[in-house]
């Protein structure tokens, strides 16, 4: 586990715990054995992330003896004992056991600190001479035979179920490690593996293909983690195209088809459109009907040139609330809104007054609505006229004439109401959720047609 920094270990745990990335995939990504990854996850699961801050510990002879007793006398699995004791690596316990047997079943703690100079020199000379003597005694044939034996043991020790051969990725990783350890060629290692009928075989072409595939899968794991984070951040409202745009905003260039494929692999599906019912505010003719100045040309070149409004009804547990917003034809942001428990003229007039405080200069603005009774009211029409605003109305029975406003109602209900009704205990909670959603819609939700910007960012861009 020495290859991994503390940050790597924390990241591995979160990828496994939060994003359900398997130990095998994490092993490939971080180029660490799957056994070590599994041990790390079990260790953190037992002791928490604070175990990573544990300083170096010089274990006493009594501590080691008690640990080994659990294995030898009580027959506990070594891995379980290691995790229970909080050892950084399961290999520590196996080393203690090997030394214990080597020293005649006695615990011998090595002397810590630097050896005296004369002792160190003697030991170095002894070790060096032994190594040189060994190298002189091995012939090329014997060295080759020893390397083949090490290769055999390495491949046999690959972690796997008893009835299943290791995957090509595991074998390729072992081959790469053997190249570094033995200083031999890939051809030599693969020949040694393939010549042994008891070992799983791997061709040279498959080895290089697996290495290339591992690099691609590692990149995909990073993208998938980002996709899942964006998906959760936006409460499952984003589908693949909007997630692609968000990834590009964060500096990651990726094709939308690739994002769609990875989302399908992760089983992440955005909220599907659903039919919704709109409150019908028409009550026959109440006042003068204004001409349609928009004629379904909803967009505007600059903000505060075309505004649209309507009222929608949302029903929860037999009770109703009514939302009356204004949407800008250029930025498509919600300029102002009011929420009332009943549709009345005060709701509409309060919406206008809130807008006036925010934008006091509205000369030349076109304000478009349907033929609802509120918009035919003399008080409403007089207010628009006194502020230099031209009133426009849809034709009777043509809901598409106010399509921009209808589109917003559909998005709102699809992304925070339909399918989420059980989350709201009463109308108060629902109304608070509507306010939160409108804030999110203006400030955070990107729009593909507006160059992948949020509505507020697009307003700043247009006005700059």
Q: Match 């290495």 to its residue by tokens.
A: 211
Q: Match 């316990």 to its residue by tokens.
A: 93
Residues 261, 237 within the same domain: yes
CA 104 from chain centre, in angstroms, equals 53
Secondary structure of residue 46 in the 3-state scheme:
helix
Which CATH number fits the domain that encloses residue 372? 3.30.420.10
Q: Match 């929420």 to its residue by tokens.
A: 339
Report whether 439 contacts 337 (CB < 8 A).
no
Q: How far apart are CA 136 and CA 269, in angstroms?
A: 66
Q: For the whole model, what pTM was predicted?
A: 0.51
Read off the pLDDT of residues 146-188 as tens digits, 9 standing for 90 and up. 888 888 888 887 755 555 667 787 888 888 888 888 888 889 9
Q: Match 């040694």 to its residue by tokens.
A: 192
Residues 250, 217 within the same domain: yes
* 7 within domain boundaries: no
Report whether 26 contacts 11 (CB < 8 A).
no
The number of distinct structural domains making up the chain is: 3
* 415 within domain boundaries: yes
Q: Which ranges of 272-398 would DSSP assign to H, the alpha helix?
A: 345-358, 373-376, 378-386
Q: Match 């205990």 to its residue by tokens.
A: 425
Residues 317, 371 within the same domain: yes
C-beta contacts of 81-86 below 8 A and 24+ residues apart: 82/39, 83/39, 83/42, 83/43, 83/46, 84/46, 86/43, 86/46, 86/47, 86/51, 86/54
Which pLDDT does position 345 carry in this prediction? 93
Which pLDDT does position 247 carry in this prediction? 87
Residues 193, 235 within the same domain: no
Residues 367, 244 within the same domain: no
* 389 within domain boundaries: yes
CA distance from start to end of the chain? 53
* 390 within domain boundaries: yes
| Cα–Cα distance list, 11 to 40, 224, 292, 387 (Å) | 12, 14, 58, 58
Q: How far apart are CA 42 and CA 285, in angstroms?
A: 72
* 95 within domain boundaries: no
3-state helix, strand, coil in the chain (%, to 5): 55, 10, 35
Residues 221, 250 within the same domain: yes
Residues 195, 211 within the same domain: no
Q: Report the phi/psi class of residue 21: left, alpha or beta, with left for phi > 0 and alpha for psi in -120 to 50.
A: beta
Residues 192, 211 within the same domain: no
* 60 within domain boundaries: no
Residues 188, 228 within the same domain: no
* 428 within domain boundaries: yes
Which pLDDT does position 430 carry in this prediction? 94
Residues 343, 407 within the same domain: yes
Report whether 325 contacts 265 (CB < 8 A).
no
Report whether 274 contacts 418 (CB < 8 A).
yes
Q: How far is it between the farthest Cα atoms of the chain?
A: 111
Contacts of 77 (CB under 8 A, 6+ apart): 71
Q: What's the sign of the alpha-carbon dihedral 120, 126, 132, 138?
A: negative
Q: How far apart are CA 23 and CA 11, in angstroms?
A: 13
Last residue of a domain, one of 180, 202, 224: 202
Rg for the chain, CA atoms, rounded: 35
Read off the pLDDT of residues 301-335 as tens digits, 9 standing for 90 and up. 889 999 999 999 999 988 999 999 999 999 999 99
Structural element, H or E, at residue 413:
helix 403-416
Residues 154, 175 within the same domain: yes
Residues of the chain with pLDDT under 70: 1-3, 104-138, 159-165, 213-219, 271-287, 397, 399
Residues 260, 401 within the same domain: no
Tokens for 285?
Answer: 């003719």
* 298 within domain boundaries: no
Half-sphere exposure of 300 (CA within 13 A, CB side): 26
Domain that holds residue 357: 306-463
């Amino acid at each position: 586990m020495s290859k991994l920094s503390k940050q790597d270990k924390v990241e591995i745990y979160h990828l496994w715990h939060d994003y359900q990335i398997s130990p095998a995939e994490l092993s490939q990504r971080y180029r660490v054995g799957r056994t070590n990854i599994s041990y790390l996850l079990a260790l953190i699961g037992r002791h928490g992330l604070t175990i990573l801050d544990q300083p170096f510990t010089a274990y006493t002879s009594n501590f080691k003896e008690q640990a080994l007793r659990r294995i030898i006398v009580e027959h506990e699995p070594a891995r379980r004992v290691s995790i229970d004791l909080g050892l950084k690596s399961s290999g520590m316990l196996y080393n203690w056991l090997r030394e214990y047997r080597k020293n005649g079943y006695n615990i011998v703690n090595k002397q810590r600190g630097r050896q005296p100079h004369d002792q160190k020199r003697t030991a170095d000379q002894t070790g060096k001479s032994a190594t040189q003597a060994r190298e002189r005694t091995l012939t090329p044939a014997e060295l080759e035979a020893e390397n083949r034996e090490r290769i055999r043991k390495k491949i046999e020790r690959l972690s796997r179920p008893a009835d299943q051969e290791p995957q090509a990725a595991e074998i390729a990783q072992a081959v790469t490690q053997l190249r570094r350890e033995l200083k031999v060629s890939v051809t030599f290692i693969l020949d040694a593996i393939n010549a042994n009928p008891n070992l799983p075989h791997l061709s040279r072409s498959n080895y290089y293909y697996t290495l290339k595939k591992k690099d691609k899968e590692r990149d995909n794991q990073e993208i998938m983690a980002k996709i899942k984070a964006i998906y959760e951040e936006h409460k499952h409202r984003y589908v693949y195209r909007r997630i692609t745009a968000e990834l590009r905003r964060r500096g990651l260039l990726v094709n939308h088809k690739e994002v769609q494929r990875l989302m399908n692999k992760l089983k992440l599906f955005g909220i599907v459109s659903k039919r919704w019912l709109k409150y019908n505010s028409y009550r026959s003719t109440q006042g003068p009907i204004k001409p349609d100045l928009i004629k379904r040309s909803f967009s505007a070149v600059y903000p505060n040139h075309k505004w649209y409004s309507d009222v929608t009804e949302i029903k929860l547990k037999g009770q109703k609330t009514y939302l009356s917003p204004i949407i800008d034809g250029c930025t498509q942001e919600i300029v102002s809104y009011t929420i009332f428990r009943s549709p009345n003229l005060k709701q509409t007039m309060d919406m206008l007054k809130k807008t006036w405080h925010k934008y006091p200069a509205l000369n030349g603005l076109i304000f478009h609505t349907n033929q609802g009774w509120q918009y035919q009211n003399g008080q409403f029409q007089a207010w628009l006229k006194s502020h230099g605003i031209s009133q426009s109305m849809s034709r009777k029975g043509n809901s598409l004439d106010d399509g921009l406003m209808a589109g917003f109602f559909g998005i709102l209900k699809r992304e925070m109401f339909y399918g989420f009704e059980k989350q709201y205990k009463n109308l108060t909670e629902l109304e608070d959720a509507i306010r939160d959603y409108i804030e999110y819609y203006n400030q955070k939700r990107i729009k593909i047609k507006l160059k992948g910007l949020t509505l507020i960012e697009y307003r700043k861009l247009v006005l700059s």
